[in-house]
Structure 1
Amino acid sequence: MKIRELTQYLEFIAPLSYQESYDNSGLIVGDPDDEIQKALISLDCTEDIVDEAIAKGCDIIVSHHPIVFKGLKKFNGKNYVERVVIKAIQNKIAIYAIHTNLDNVLGGVSSKIADKLALECQAVLQPKVGLLKKLIVYVPRTHVEIVRNALFSAGAGGIGNYDQCSYNTLGYGTFRALEGADPLIGKIGVQERVEETKIEIIYPAIKERSVLLAMYQSHPYEEVAYDIFSLGNQLHTVGAGVIGNLSTASTATDFLAYLKDKMNLKLIRHTRLLDKPINRVAVCGGAGSFLLREAKLSGADIFITADYKYHDFFDAEDEIVIADIGHFESEQFTQELLLEVIQKKFVNFAVLLTEIETNPIKYYS
């Protein structure tokens, strides 16, 4: 298949618009129209990973972390980033990164940690705002069902675990067609009064094009009267971190042993253990210290993440246990997640997990 078939599906799962402003997710090396036969999945894209792709006949690498975060001005091979890009281009290997956009969806990186820990009732820890909009459109009574159903089909009307949500108000509209118009109702130069329904409906901002197209195509008027509002509501399926519950409460020491086993950890850096059971657990793959406030507000007994700085551990203030398990360790199962997602959609496409551990941090004991 073509690269774009794979990337379009990955971007359906984790839209690029959900990535953070500093990020560089997406197709980094390669032509979207190039044919691909086999993909290699990794957490990082290093020289060893490119060599592995060459040896295994893979023509695309799908990694979590982007190899390029900043613009490259020269390609002289003076650092590992330049060498990776040069080698990939020379060997016709595409590189695709799916980073903070995969962090920011329920079912993404943090959800994979939560699944490993068998957390129940999972929810996004810090839902994003500004990703929802409201459409208000005025429709003659004869076409309300047609327009409303078209909007539903285009992806509007979803709220949490409900779909086909809308609010409808009866009223009437007035208009007068001027010369050059081709009105569905009425005559040129005569004011008309028509019974209409005001449909109010929420939709994700990323679906605006398809929603507006559905509105125009289904609406009978030559000129459609509508309003669009940006909302401050949270989109509860998009955002950072995950909160969930253990099926059975555990002592702090028993839970740390459980965490170490399930996440294959060599060590855990943590704050003072509190004299209360662990039941509610907050997790964030990668560097998640910015979520401590949300973890506390969510009622979490422990917050599992990575890359905590010394002074930031004090912010636990004996209200919660902070457990730093390491950046690579927190995201290591993202590879499994990507493998599962791709294989489920493209059953006849070859997908391999890397055999190389790319963690740059080693432990001496």
Structure 2
Amino acid sequence: MSTTIRAIVQMLSAWASPQYQESYDNAGLIVGQPGTAVKGVLTALDATEATLEEAKAHGCNLVVAHHPIVFKGLKQLNGKNYVERTILKAIREDIAIFAIHTNLDNIQGGVNTHIASQLGLQQVRILAPRPNTLLKLTTFCPTSHTQAVLQALGQAGAGQIGAYKNCSFRTSGIGAFQPDDNAKPFIGQAGQLEEVAEDRLEVIFPTHLKGAVMQALRQAHPYEEVAYYLHQLENDNQEIGSGAIGQLPQPMPIADFLALLKNKMQARCIRHTALFQETVQTIALCGGTGSFLLPQAIRQGADVFVSADFKYHEFFDADQRILIADIGHYESEQFTADLLQHKLQAAFVGLPVVRTQLSTNPIQYYV
């Protein structure tokens, strides 16, 4: 059976839920029809006319890019700029375009985790975890079905806390109910008050799994009417958020770290603030435009903040509390194409997945 665009979209969306994209973003299927069979996939940072030509040369009819080619609404399609030309070419060549942008930035295991891996960082965690992205489910079931319900909830993704899965809490008590004449009770009889030994079960899960978790609860629970309630949690979600922070295996002279950074990220140059410290070890980072995370990097005691697109006056904000290392937007995110290729190859064995060999960096350097 052939792999469809729908199957790939579903897999990528389960990995990096569209719910976690920023409000300005336009991630998702930009061009193409979900039911189309996929001949091959090209992964890239940007979907441009040249990217589509490369995809066509490899026999790929789907481009999975990090950056969306369309950010704003298009009122015309007449080829007057590179965005319109790319969309027209994609339609003409029957090549679909899917973008997985800030939602991939905002997950553990996404863009920033990949950059940290490139730099050999250890103990990597999200720099700015996002609050209000967790729910707590409390439900009640007869003790005879506690394990079945917990197992179903765990399979749906509930009870995952960092490196631990199937996390839950239970207390035992007596549940009471009286079925009416229209009920079909699992336990008890219509018109009679029933008391049952029950467990109160509590699990947490990310908000984007709400549908799957509630469906699993209803399917596994024996009662006709399932008693439950949900709470929105203010807890920081350690799996969702912006940037990353980690440790070099050992302190490194600052000049050596900058050389490592330039080499590993294939940067033509690094714009940085004054080298006021001798060694560094704690490294914060954010792929793409990351100046908004500088205060968080300082609060968490990072020696260096690696990102891109810093403006002149923003470099002053380091104020000799941290070293800013701006390596360029393209340079910071270019290896996202590798991350996407590896993820798709693992999920769709046998499907041709090619990583772009083009540089779509619009910034050139005179040296």
For residues 219 and 56 of structure 1, do their structure 2 counterparts lie closer, same or farther at Cα, with a shift above 3 Å needed?
closer
Distance in 2 between residues matched to 1:76 and 1:354, nearest whole Å: 27
The answer as to whether partners of 1:288 and 1:306 remain within 8 angstroms in 2 is yes
Shift of 1:239: 1.4
Counterpart position of 2:255: 253
- 2:200 alignment partner, SS class: strand
Residue 274 of structure 1 pairs with residue 276 of structure 2: yes
- 1:121 alignment partner, SS class: strand
TM-score by length of 1: 0.96
Distance in 2 between residues matched to 1:301 and 1:326, nearest whole Å: 19
Residues 186-265 of structure 1 correspond to what in structure 2 (within 5 A)? 186-265=188-267
The answer as to whether partners of 1:252 and 1:274 remain within 8 angstroms in 2 is no
Shift of 1:192: 2.3
Counterpart position of 1:84: 86
Counterpart position of 1:147: 149
Worse-matched range after superposition: 326-335 or 249-258:
249-258
Counterpart position of 2:183: 181
Shift of 1:98: 1.1
Distance in 1 between residues matched to 2:59 and 2:317, nearest whole Å: 49
- 2:83 alignment partner, SS class: helix
Residue 157 of structure 1 pairs with residue 143 of structure 2: no
Counterpart position of 1:364: 366
TM-score by length of 2: 0.96
Shift of 1:201: 1.0
Gap runs ≥5 in structure 2 = none
For residues 144 and 352 of structure 1, do their structure 2 counterparts lie closer, same or farther at Cα, with a shift above 3 Å needed?
closer
Counterpart position of 1:326: 328
1:138 is aligned with what amino acid?
A: F
Distance in 2 between residues matched to 1:238 and 1:265, nearest whole Å: 28
Q: C-alpha deviations, 1:4-29, integer Å up to 9, x for none? A: 22222222221211211111111110
Counterpart position of 2:24: 22
- 1:22 alignment partner, SS class: coil
Shift of 1:311: 1.0
Distance in 1 between residues matched to 2:280 and 2:269, nearest whole Å: 19
The answer as to whether partners of 1:160 and 1:236 remain within 8 angstroms in 2 is yes
2:238 is aligned with what amino acid?
A: H
- 2:23 alignment partner, SS class: coil
Q: C-alpha deviations, 1:319-345, integer Å up to 9, x for none? A: 111111110010111111112212222
Distance in 2 between residues matched to 1:256 and 1:240, nearest whole Å: 23
Shift of 1:57: 2.5
- 1:40 alignment partner, SS class: strand
Residue 48 of structure 1 pairs with residue 50 of structure 2: yes
Counterpart position of 1:296: 298
Shift of 1:358: 0.7
2:107 is aligned with what amino acid?
A: V
Between Structure 1 and Structure 2, how many residues are aligned? Answer: 365
Distance in 2 between residues matched to 1:345 and 1:180, nearest whole Å: 47
Shift of 1:81: 0.8
The answer as to whether partners of 1:44 and 1:66 remain within 8 angstroms in 2 is yes
Q: Which of 285, 288, 300 is residue 286 of structure 1 equivalent to?
A: 288
Distance in 2 between residues matched to 1:107 and 1:142, nearest whole Å: 38
Counterpart position of 2:168: 166
Q: Which of 314, 319, 337 is residue 335 of structure 1 equivalent to?
A: 337
Shift of 1:190: 2.5
Q: C-alpha deviations, 1:285-342, integer Å up to 9, x for none? A: 0001111122112221000000001111111111111111110010111111112212
1:288 is aligned with what amino acid?
A: G
Counterpart position of 1:73: 75
The answer as to whether partners of 1:154 and 1:211 remain within 8 angstroms in 2 is yes
1:89 is aligned with what amino acid?
A: I
1:25 is aligned with what amino acid?
A: A
Distance in 1 between residues matched to 2:114 and 2:222, nearest whole Å: 47
1:46 is aligned with what amino acid?
A: T
The answer as to whether partners of 1:3 and 1:34 remain within 8 angstroms in 2 is yes
Distance in 2 between residues matched to 1:350 and 1:253, nearest whole Å: 41
Give percent identity, aligned residues only.
50
Distance in 2 between residues matched to 1:105 and 1:350, nearest whole Å: 26
